[in-house]
């Protein structure tokens, strides 16, 4: 079964990461890199996203589309990256995400077949 893991940063997480000493930040990224290496056999794609301030939002709920350059809707949580994985079932995806050493929120969504 294919799923997308959406990784979500919170304002507090981003502030804490920014406040880290360079060596501590490097260790935090090393943990994420080790997690990715451990699960590379089921990862089919993905990427870290650029900051929310780089987003372009298109609102389609009015009579005409409205295009807004970032920053877009102010939010306390922002998707910061994603991975597409192919695993046996939701339980396997849950086990993966529960060991995620990065941002504090992850959403698991199945892909359409």
**Strand partners of residue 2:** 86
Position 92 in a domain: yes
Position 63 in a domain: no
Tokens of 29: 């990224």
- Please report, for the domain that includes residue 38, its CATH number: 3.30.70
Position 55 in a domain: no
**Closest alpha carbon to 82 in 20, 36, 29, 13:** 36
Position 105 in a domain: yes
What is the pTM (predicted TM-score) of this model? 0.87
Position 15 in a domain: yes
Please count the other Cβ atoms lying within 10 Å of the Cβ belonging to residue 81.
18
Position 73 in a domain: no
The pLDDT value given to residue 8: 93
Please count the other Cβ atoms lying within 10 Å of the Cβ belonging to residue 5.
20
Position 56 in a domain: no
- In angstroms, the CA 93 to CA 84 distance is 10
Position 61 in a domain: no
The vertex-34 CA angle with 29 and 40, nearest 5°, equals 120
The one-digit pLDDT tens for each residue of the chain (113 residues) are 999 999 999 888 989 999 999 999 999 999 999 999 999 999 999 999 998 888 888 889 999 999 988 765 566 788 999 999 999 999 999 999 999 999 999 999 999 97
Counted domains in the chain: 1
* Range of the structural domain that residue 36 is part of: 2-50+82-110
What phi-psi label fits residue 46: left (phi over 0), alpha (psi between -120 and 50 degrees) or beta? left
């Amino acid at each position: 079964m294919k799923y997308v893991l959406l990784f979500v940063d919170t304002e507090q997480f981003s502030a804490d990461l920014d406040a880290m000493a360079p060596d501590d930040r490097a260790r935090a990224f090393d943990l994420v890199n080790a997690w990715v290496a451990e699960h590379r056999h089921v990862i089919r794609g993905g990427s870290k996203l650029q900051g929310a301030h780089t987003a372009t939002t298109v609102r389609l709920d009015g009579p005409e589309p409205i295009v807004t350059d970032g920053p877009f809707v102010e939010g306390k949580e922002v998707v910061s990256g994603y991975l597409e994985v192919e695993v046996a079932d939701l339980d396997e995806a849950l086990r993966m995400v529960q060991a995620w050493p990065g941002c504090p929120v992850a959403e698991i969504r199945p892909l359409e077949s």
